[in-house]
Structure 1
Amino acid sequence: MNKKNIFENILKKKIPANILYQDKKVTAFTDISPKAPVHILVIPNFFIKNLNEINKKNLNILSHMMYVSIKLAKINNIHESGYRIIINCNKNSGQEIQYLHIHILGGKKLKKI
């Protein structure tokens, strides 16, 4: 299966995922290769390749993705101990799937970057 389409296939329910949150704008689910005890991905419900494709028409999606990320950090009880939010953009940053997504990592002491 093409990695570029994995998130689209999750949204279309062609691939099972542990969906933790979903509304009209975004979907959040656990990462299948977690890097921390809590590792959640938040994606828009419509395709945006990466941060470079944010423009005046779609910029509100970022604030909603951040709002949902904070909400999920609280639901998962990592908001007080600490968590990290990461958005990778393109190959050199480590973006493996060409679909805008936020990583929420927490549940343990994370290495400094």
Structure 2
Amino acid sequence: MDCLFCKIVCGDIPARKFCEDDQVIAFHDISAQAPVHFLVLPKKHIATLNDLSEENDKLLAGHILVTAQRLAREQGCQDGFRVVMNCNDLGGQTVHHIHMHVLGQRQMHWPPG
């Protein structure tokens, strides 16, 4: 498979991982947009949010959210943080493997731009 994140999951490409379990990994974003900026993604390759299967991926999606919340707190973002998931090119997705950006420790604005 030619997926950047799948290569990170299997260890072919290094990343600054700081959390991993049997379903997800988390690592710091190489182009951080906030003092805290990390990604949480499933180890299972799912290209976009449109490809989530309700019967098979509902628990996985919940696990990604709960992991992001726990890690944000552990990274010192208990006063607030933003989570972002982009879907397809028009939505800003550049790597087609679902992933959640978690950004914190700075004031977020709306709309984001």
Match runs of 1:22-33 below 5 Å: 22-33=20-31
Question: Where do 5+ consecutive residues of structure 2 fail to align?
Answer: none
Q: Which amino acid in 1 is paired with 2:13?
A: I
Specify the alignment match of 1:7 in structure 2.
5
1:111 deviates by 2.1
Q: Does 1:58 align with 2:57?
A: yes
Query: What percent identity do the matched residue pairs reach?
Result: 33
Q: Tell me, yes or no, if the aligned pair for 1:70 and 1:79 is still in contact at 8 Å.
A: no
Distance 1:51 1:59 in 2: 11
SS of 1:14's equivalent?
coil
Specify the alignment match of 2:19 in structure 1.
21
Specify the alignment match of 1:79 in structure 2.
78
Specify the alignment match of 1:70 in structure 2.
69
Give a deviation string over 1:24-51, Cα, whole Å, max 9, x none: 0100000111111111100101100111
SS of 1:77's equivalent?
coil
Q: Which amino acid in 2 is paired with 1:71?
A: R
Q: Which amino acid in 2 is paired with 1:58?
A: D
Aligned length: 110
Aligned alpha-carbon RMSD (Å): 1.3
TM-score under structure 2 normalisation?
A: 0.92
TM-score under structure 1 normalisation?
A: 0.92
